[in-house]
Structure 1
Amino acid sequence: MIDFINKTLSKLFGNKADRDLKELVPVVSQIKEAEVTITQLNDDQLREKTSEFKKRIQDYIVATVEERISINDQIEKNPTMEMGTKEDLYRRIDELQKEENSKIEEILNEILPEAFGVVRETARRFSANSEIRVKATQHDRDLSVKKSYIKISGDDAIYSNTWMAAGNSVTWNMIHYDVQLIGGSVLHQGKIAEMATGEGKTLVATLPIYLNALAGKGVHIVTVNDYLAKRDSEWNGTIFEFLGLTVDCIDKHQPNSDERKKAYLSDITYGTNNEFGFDYLRDNMARSPLDMVQRGHHFAIVDEVDSALIDDARTPLIISGPTPKGDSHEFFALKPRIENLVSTQRNYINTVIADAKKKIAEGKENEAGLPLLRAFRGLPRNKALIKFLSEQGVRALLQKPKITICRISNVKCIKLMLNFILLLMRRITLLNLQKKVSI
């Protein structure tokens, strides 16, 4: 009956996935409308859209940001401020922070069609041209020093559509499909987008990454292994860098280093879930804000989210300090001694088992119990012992010395208790005599 009702409701109203899809279809139409104008821009004008988007975001939140900064200055300049007043101001700062985040989300949703259109048009131009020549900026000049596929020729920067990613030469030949635009919208909304292998998860992610990086508060791309983190940062990085954003990967740098701190200051930061987690733990242990590497968390995309948040989450991140002697350990000195000790014990237990078998064969079963117990305590997983104990009546012999030892132990305990009681009674009698004498 319940199944029938569910099927009927699904036919009338559709399931949750269908309803969500219907809400996202108009977004694709808005992106295509924005692309009509975007495709007419030259390469320099296309790149300038990033600065335009950033200005629109800053203009939208400027009042909130200025009020927050003003309150912070007020607190710093008045160290003798009453605690009640200071708490009210801090409460107001928290409210302004929430308001700022809410406004950023509003303006990003407004910019989304154009931003997605810019990324798709950039991908299309890199796919259609082996080189793209644009007016060189300082950002381009800095990149050309580190990356061979970006060259400076006079006042121009020349971007090649072939570059190195994870040690392999790749030529950009990908353009976003309409369904991938929907996937990008889903990720921007903070929802989980399930895509099969080969459907272009890496390409889909470029859309919300670019959009949320425009806020200037950083975007984290969390992957499950360092190879994917390094590869994707280099594979997609050129598209973002062409549009004026900075990209880095924390797995390329040592923990607590200036390079890693700089990586977190990039617009887009790739890394593994473990490295992000350990950096977060180290920052919580830092004694000064200057020792912290991460900045405030704004937006993150988690690749293979089921693995990162469910499977890997079963293994806790445990942070610890280095050993005092570094690589100088006593392991190699103790290893041969321990091996010799284990070997000696194994040989002794084999001798004890042979002795027990001999006594049983001679009919001295009462004497065989103690060697069996000694062997069981010394090497309980010995294969020869396990096989021998599985024979009929042998395990019963093992129990007899156990019971005897328990009886002896109990007798000792009873004797000790009686001796303690007797000693206590003597002390009490002695105290009573002393009192009588003093009287």
Structure 2
Amino acid sequence: MPAHEMVTGERERMLGFGTIAKKVFGTPNDRKIKATRPLVDRINALEPEFEALDDAGLKAKTEELKSRHAGGESLDDLLPEAFANCREAAKRALGLRAFDVQLMGGIFLHQGNISEMKTGEGKTLVATFPAYLNALSGKGVHIVTVNDYLARRDADWMSKVYSALGLTTGVVYPRQPEEEKKAAYQADITYATNNELGFDYLRDNMKSELDQMYQRGHNYAVVDEVDSILIDEARTPLIISGPSQDRSELYVGIDKLIPELTEEHFTIDEKTRNVTFTDEGNEFLEARLVEAGFVPEGQSLYDPESTTIIHHLSQGLRAHKLFQRDKDYIVRDGEVVLIDEFTGRMMPGRRLSDGLHQAIEAKEGANIQPENVTLASVTFQNYFRLYNKLSGMTGTASTEAEEFAEIYGLGVVEVPTNKPIARIDEDDRVYRTGPEKYDAIVEEIRKAHEKGQPVLVGTTSIEKSEMLSDLLKKADLPHNVLNARQHEQEAQIVGDAGLPGAITIATNMAGRGTDIKLGGNFEMKVQEALAADPDGHPDEIRARIEAEQADDEARVKEAGGLFVLATERHESRRIDNQLRGRSGRQGDPGRSAFFLSLDDDLMRIFGSERLDKVLSSLGMKEGEAIIHPWVNKSLERAQSKVEGRNFDIRKQLLKFDDVMNDQRKVIFGQRREIMEAEDLSEVTDDMREEVIDDLVDTYAPPKTYADQWDAEGLDKALKETLLLNLPVAAWTEEDGVDQEELRERIEKAASQMMAEKAEKFGPEAMRQIEKQLLLQTIDAKWREHLLTLEHLRSVVGFRGYAQRDPLNEYKTESFQLFESMLDSLRAEVTQKLSQIQPMSEEQRQQLIDEMRRQQAQAQMAAAQAPAGAAAPDAEAAGPAVAQVEPLVEGFDETDPSTWGNPGRNSPCPCGSGNKFKHCHGRLT
């Protein structure tokens, strides 16, 4: 037997064994599905019992389950009854009875997994089951959506179910009145977008009073469109920022220079979206910048003083060469508005960081807004890892299962569809040129339209959707366009996309939240008919529309169902799958096809030259396409490489974020303790003692003699820092005065001075002053520290040229900067408290009011300032970490991660007998 036949035969046998093993043992996914069957059977067995309950009985059952959980029963034990109760409530409130596969999806969500459920399988209803069960603990549940429209719609729709069960529902949205937002977070189940949750978390950590905070903890979250939120949007941090100095002249001046550059002056890397200047470019720019007065004569662009100007030149070049109008942004009313690359939606209020947005504004002649400085920031990775339990649902998650497991500890379970999928997924068609591809697309759309088959055409940018729209107009094919420009008509356009012969061009269908129903959306048709005929009888109109709907649906099914025609492959297979998944919902017929050309971005960037040679050698004629499963596989391999690279980018971003975790724990933990504390005198006393320790160590170092001490320097420092006028020089000349004696005398004098001051102020006023002063100083120091770390992050990458690991360098230097910040924090608080002089009641109140006013201004900036995101390829700021609930089970005195959050004045859990702040809780 020839060798190649032996190899082939061996491979086939191995594949055969694998297939047999799967049939015998099942895949891991099959085993997870099988494990839920007994639970689903128990829920179904309870159905008659819950059907017999009246409406009050369903609410009474909720109270019973709550009390049983409070009495020690686990949520897992209560699951069958809770799910049965929730199913019955949904059946009565919405007329929807959950299928078994929906119960399975709910079970996986409760277990802290991602339920992958196809489009049209009813994920909105699925979320109610784990939300209801976990809300029984009384700690609140967050259901996270990708936009405000879906948050409001789902909250309004599903609140009927929760209300029937005796639970409250809240919805959080931007610019919401404060009391309303607070009430929404206090509800049993809260619907909100990922952005608003993250921003409210940041705002909470800028508040000065506990009762001003919105969120009450992070118990359990169900994330809808989890791949979009935790992966696509996780490359950019949420940033609350405030304006800095106006530098519009610099941006405009630099923008005038960019068009003068030629190709020999710079290089562009499209894969990493980076630009660099060549030596010729630097020489040319140096001369032009000196002429324009931006760089002084004799200063080179290679000098350290030129770092800022080089940074802005790079951003200007990126604005011109890498950011395209109507693809990455649009200009509306003189304002540059970013477009979400994944959903095609406008993102008003979002701004690119590091001067890039200003560079685009200068390029477009728009109003240049000042750059912003970061007041607070958090990445979605670190925000969502705050939750005690996290889960998610989407139609496409399996391609990113590794990232979900590694970053968030989430498993992905593919939940079976209620009915078998009847969609036909055709092989990709690859054309040599773009015009050939678009000619074929128009012809394919015409064929489908003529036989009454609705077509959903997927494009990757507004520019391409409008170009295709022009081609369809020339071909006299009526159609709708759905992109960022038509954002307001989104629901209507999606609702009509399933009508017989409808043609809809969509920039991106990810996270639209509205199903395309064959024959059109029944409820929308009814609303239109009622609006057109206000005097008509509603029941008669509904009956007529119902008959028309059934007829239209039958025509569409006969024509083959919804035809999804994609004009390009995305960088991610998951986005392609989301588009495909719009067809074939709930067992409906459908088909999907991808039309590609060698001019497409993905093909061009990732090696279309080889394929072009192959196609040329095959002697393909104009207008012909290559169609073969091998082409699909090679494209998917290219996509998986891009996905892997993007995963590495996000992983690296998270590594730098994690360096900040401990620092944020200390800062946010300290803020919360300060807000909770009634009396902060012990904290300020400790700070004062440590400042005195540092002063004594500096001017009277250990293991030195008194005649070596700098008595004059210490005396001056004590006057400046503590307003103490002490006979330091005389003390140092006394026999037997060592460093410890000196320290004790200074501490005694300082304590006496502060005690007298507190007596004159009055205990209540002194406590208020201490609290406001501590919060104000911590916030100011933390903002300065964030800015310093941003600068460190931007330059630390260059350490790689010196064969030093940038991450390790960042860890070391950020820790040193943090220690330095804490030292200056202690010194500043001590100095300010020492300088405060006794005053009248009126003056005291004015001081406290002024402190509160300054704190309120910072909070106002947090609430109203544009919440910008960094550039999509920019590195993130550090993570934000909230309080962790104390752990009772699994406590180990040798493992600090099991201690929860001991109070600073509590005994240290390690058993040393010292206070926590003097043991494991030391700030330095």
TM-score scaled by structure 2?
0.26
Q: Secondary structure at the match of 1:193?
A: strand
The corresponding residue for 2:71 is: 59
Residue 286 (structure 2) pairs with residue 286 (structure 1) = no
- 1:379 partner amino acid: E
Determine if contact 1:108/1:212 at 8 Å carries over to the other structure.
yes
Q: How far apart in 2 are the matches of 1:42 and 1:303?
A: 32
Q: How far apart in 2 are the matches of 1:24 and 1:338?
A: 60
The corresponding residue for 1:39 is: 51
Q: Secondary structure at the match of 1:286?
A: coil
The corresponding residue for 2:61 is: 49
2:239 to 318, 324, 337: 318
1:379 to 256, 260, 271: 260
Q: How far apart in 1 are the matches of 2:227 and 2:237?
A: 16
1:204 to 104, 108, 126: 126
Residue 73 (structure 2) pairs with residue 192 (structure 1) = no
Q: Secondary structure at the match of 2:114?
A: coil
Residue 42 (structure 2) pairs with residue 30 (structure 1) = yes
Q: What's the offset of the Cα at 1:217?
A: 0.4
Q: Secondary structure at the match of 2:190?
A: strand
The corresponding residue for 2:89 is: 122
Alignment of 1:297-308 (within 5 A): 297-308=218-229
Residue 147 (structure 2) pairs with residue 225 (structure 1) = yes
Q: What's the offset of the Cα at 1:113?
A: 0.9
Residue 69 (structure 2) pairs with residue 112 (structure 1) = no
Determine if contact 1:230/1:252 at 8 Å carries over to the other structure.
no
The corresponding residue for 1:349 is: none
Q: How far apart in 1 are the matches of 2:139 and 2:162?
A: 15
Alignment of 1:28-427 (within 5 A): 28-60=40-72, 107-126=74-93, 172-251=94-173, 254=176, 257-321=178-242, 323=243, 379-380=260-261
- 2:50 partner amino acid: I
Does the C-alpha gap of structure 1 residues 275 and 222 become closer, same or farther in structure 2, counting only changes over 3 Å? same
Does the C-alpha gap of structure 1 residues 6 and 315 become closer, same or farther in structure 2, counting only changes over 3 Å? same
- 2:84 partner amino acid: G
Q: What's the offset of the Cα at 1:9?
A: 2.7
Q: How far apart in 1 are the matches of 2:251 and 2:31?
A: 67
Q: How far apart in 2 are the matches of 1:181 and 1:287?
A: 44
Does the C-alpha gap of structure 1 residues 49 and 378 become closer, same or farther in structure 2, counting only changes over 3 Å? closer
Q: How far apart in 1 are the matches of 2:116 and 2:223?
A: 12
Determine if contact 1:53/1:214 at 8 Å carries over to the other structure.
yes
Q: Secondary structure at the match of 2:71?
A: helix
Q: How far apart in 2 are the matches of 1:243 and 1:207?
A: 11
Q: What's the offset of the Cα at 1:259?
A: 2.2
Q: How far apart in 1 are the matches of 2:48 and 2:254?
A: 78
Determine if contact 1:219/1:269 at 8 Å carries over to the other structure.
yes
Does the C-alpha gap of structure 1 residues 342 and 264 become closer, same or farther in structure 2, counting only changes over 3 Å? closer
- 1:58 partner amino acid: A
Determine if contact 1:253/1:260 at 8 Å carries over to the other structure.
no
Determine if contact 1:253/1:259 at 8 Å carries over to the other structure.
no
Residue 23 (structure 2) pairs with residue 11 (structure 1) = yes
Q: What's the offset of the Cα at 1:290?
A: 3.1
Q: What's the offset of the Cα at 1:252?
A: 6.0
Determine if contact 2:58/2:164 at 8 Å carries over to the other structure.
no
Q: What's the offset of the Cα at 1:284?
A: 3.0
Determine if contact 1:116/1:211 at 8 Å carries over to the other structure.
yes
Which structure would you say has the larger RCO, counting Cα contacts within 8 Å and 6 or more residues apart? Answer: 2
Mind listing any 5+ residue stretches in structure 1 that lack a counterpart? 61-105, 127-171, 347-376, 387-397, 406-411, 414-439
Determine if contact 1:219/1:267 at 8 Å carries over to the other structure.
yes
Q: What's the offset of the Cα at 1:4?
A: 4.8
Mark the structure with the bigger radius of gyration: 1
Determine if contact 1:50/1:243 at 8 Å carries over to the other structure.
yes
Does the C-alpha gap of structure 1 residues 342 and 281 become closer, same or farther in structure 2, counting only changes over 3 Å? closer
Determine if contact 2:174/2:196 at 8 Å carries over to the other structure.
no
Identity rate, percent: 48
Q: Secondary structure at the match of 1:192?
A: strand
Q: How far apart in 2 are the matches of 1:45 and 1:290?
A: 35
